[in-house]
Amino acid sequence: MERASTRVELRRLLTERGAGRVALVPTLGALHAGHLALLEAAKAEGATVVLSVFVNPIQFDSPRDLVRYPRRLAEDARLATPYTDLLFAPAIEEVYPPGYATYLDPADTGAEGRARPGHFRGVATVVLRLLRLVEPDVVYFGLKDARQLAVVRRLVADLALPVTVRAVPVVRDPDGLALSSRNERLMPDEREQALELPRALLAARDASDPVAAASRALAVAPGVELEYVEVVELAEGSQLTAAVRVGAVRLLDAVPLA
């Protein structure tokens, strides 16, 4: 696996490889099996796989979360090696050069956007910057962040960007919890409580009103503080999504509605 930290290096390496079709998997790093599933899907389509690792400061809710976000590039590189051709880990100045002043402000960001003002402005802006820096043919996102996927699809359509957006199903631990870099911050009893999130969503799928059914279940789940339940419409089908807090940890999940 080769590495680049600037656009110029990246383009040189891609040209030297005669890269052909390029697939980008954008991440914040702290990779887990959910990210590896994105990389594996990109590899399976025969593309040159570029993994970007960039902790995007403008999408974090608080300076504390930004500081606390795990940074472990060496471990990320080790995990990604079997599926990745090029690791792109740009410095902040590469993504937002001095004087940078252009931000995207998606209008339709649903309950997740209302819960995290400014978050999708940061996500949309960095995704556009990464697409410009890497110039991939295809870009991969996870279905767990269903609203993020919807926002990115809208952005790609509205700006007529020449890239295909692909989605990969949620990866779960054997007990059902969706993988997230935040799971490692759950205490053992909190992890047990967090299982109510996937359980409530799965149980609500066949209800006449899945949002109401999941909201009722999560509202009374011990140790769980419900933020919202909502349906996100995607080309892959409707996704029943929810955000909760368990202790200090905010968790998202999404399950497809039949």
Residues labelled catalytic: 35
The encoded tokens of residue 11 equal: 């383009």
Instruction: Rank residues 147 and 199 by Cβ distance to ligand PAF and give the closer one.
Output: 147
Instruction: Rank residues 163 and 217 by Cβ distance to ligand PAF and give the closer one.
Output: 163
Report if residue 123 touches ligand PAF, rule: CB under 6 A: yes
Q: How far is CA 153 from CA 23, 43, 113, 133, in A?
A: 16, 21, 15, 18
The encoded tokens of residue 164 equal: 């295909």
Burial label, 232 (beta-carbon count in 10 A; 0-12, 13-18, 19+)? buried
Task: Identify which of 134, 121, 40 has the alpha carbon closest to the alpha carbon of residue 95.
Answer: 134
Report if residue 126 touches ligand PAF, rule: CB under 6 A: yes
Q: Are 39 and 83 in contact (CB under 8 A)?
A: yes
Contact window for ligand PAF (CB under 6 A) among 2-10, 26-34, 69-77, 165-173:
26-34
Three-class SS of 222-255: CCEEEEEEEEEEECCEEEEEEEEEECCEEEEEEE
Report if residue 113 touches ligand PAF, rule: CB under 6 A: no
Q: How far is the CB of 68 from ligand PAF (least distance, A)?
A: 15
Of positions 26, 90, 106, 113, contacts ligand PAF by CB under 6 A: 26
Contact window for ligand PAF (CB under 6 A) among 12-20, 39-47, 99-107, 121-129:
121-129
Task: Identify which of 219, 228, 196 has the alpha carbon closest to the alpha carbon of residue 112.
Answer: 228
Contact window for ligand PAF (CB under 6 A) among 22-30, 60-68, 155-163, 208-216:
22-30
| Per-residue mark of binding to ligand PAF, 130-149 (x: CB under 6 A) | ---------------x--x-
Report if residue 90 touches ligand PAF, rule: CB under 6 A: no
Report if residue 28 touches ligand PAF, rule: CB under 6 A: yes
Of positions 59, 109, 125, 239, contacts ligand PAF by CB under 6 A: 59
Instruction: Rank residues 127 and 186 by Cβ distance to ligand PAF and give the closer one.
Output: 127
Distance, in Å, from the CA atom of 138 to the CA atom of 148, rounded to the nearest integer, reads: 16
Q: Are 89 and 53 in contact (CB under 8 A)?
A: yes
Q: Are 135 and 18 in contact (CB under 8 A)?
A: no
Query: By rule CB under 6 A, what count of residues binds ligand PAF?
Result: 10
The encoded tokens of residue 226 equal: 């419900």
Instruction: Rank residues 152 and 218 by Cβ distance to ligand PAF and give the closer one.
Output: 152
Using CB under 6 A, list all residues that contact ligand PAF.
Answer: 26-28, 56, 59, 123, 126-127, 145, 148
